[in-house]
Amino acid sequence: MHFKIEKTGARTWDEAHLKKLFSEGFPEFITADRLVKKYIGRVREFFADMDLMLVDEDGVPVASGWGVPIRWDGRPASLPSGYTEALVRAVEGHEQGVAPDTLVICGAIVTPSLKGRGLAGETLMALRAAAKEAGWDRVIAPVRPTAKARYPLTPIETYMHWAREDGSSLDPWIRTHERLGATLLSAAPASQTMTGTVAEWERWTGLVFPESGDYVVPEGLALLHIDRESDEGVYREPNVWMRHCWRRSRGATARAGEGPPVRAAPCRAVLCRVAQPKSTSLHIR
């Protein structure tokens, strides 16, 4: 099967196709990041060129990914705190006329029935190519480790280094990035902060929170803290910053899901979280 890349805003998409693409979303509470809500409209407006669709031979969208450009000096210490701050830095940098040099890959999603065929990797590579075409030296990604929900008590700083016997990451989404030549850069223990009332959290999770304290919630990568006195629940989601080099070692596998992790060749360029649907025109993480 052959695919092509199109900008999401280039045409009107069939609603049935979009519904199928986004049929497996993320937990409902993922949209409760108040700061993201404040900036996401300007993200859509300013960075539509970095919102891409992977389309099959029949013109059906089978995967999608997007990112935002920021200025970053390449030092882990100066990274955004995570996904949300990357959006803030991108929007405010754009409004202040700061020239970007780094693409932050913010999201990727694949039609559920087509998972495991390397389409996530194809989408990430399309975003990397778009960054290169734009003249940006670096691509990074706050990766949302999908299997972390099985270990919500484990600090992300520990989890991110867990590996299988072959040396590849225990986490499948981190592993996908590894197979494209990505390496771990830094933990992002509070990449996003989701806030809501106790009633909202009970609706989002299907649980009851009879008293204040910390709770394990379905699909949560960390604990939810409930404060009944203030009628508020706060969940801070951890991610992992990863990077790729433009050049890969000879014979490296470029498609996700194929072969062992590749060894990235030494270089100075820094490259490449998966996404959750936010809307049919732009999705987050």
Q: Which residues pair with 188 in a beta bridge?
A: 239
Q: What is the pLDDT of residues 47-91, one digit of tens each?
A: 999 999 999 999 999 999 999 999 999 999 999 999 999 999 999
Band of the pLDDT at 245, cuts 50, 70, 90?
A: low
E-strand stretches of 57-137: 61-70, 102-110
Question: What percent of the chain is helix, strand and coil (3-state, nearest 5)?
Answer: 30, 25, 45
Distance set, CA 190 to CA 138, 155, 241 (Å): 23, 11, 12
Nearest by Cα to 283 from 29, 109, 91: 109
Output the pTM of the full model: 0.85
Q: What sections of 152-216 are H helices per DSSP?
A: 156-159, 172-179, 198-205
Is 138 in contact with 73 (CB distance < 8 Å)?
no
**CA atoms within 13 Å, Cβ hemisphere of 20:** 13
Nearest by Cα to 54 from 256, 260, 213, 244: 256
Q: What is the pLDDT of residues 182-204, one digit of tens each?
A: 999 999 999 999 999 999 999 99
Q: What is the pLDDT of residues 58-68, one digit of tens each?
A: 999 999 999 99
Tokens 């199109």 -> residue: 6
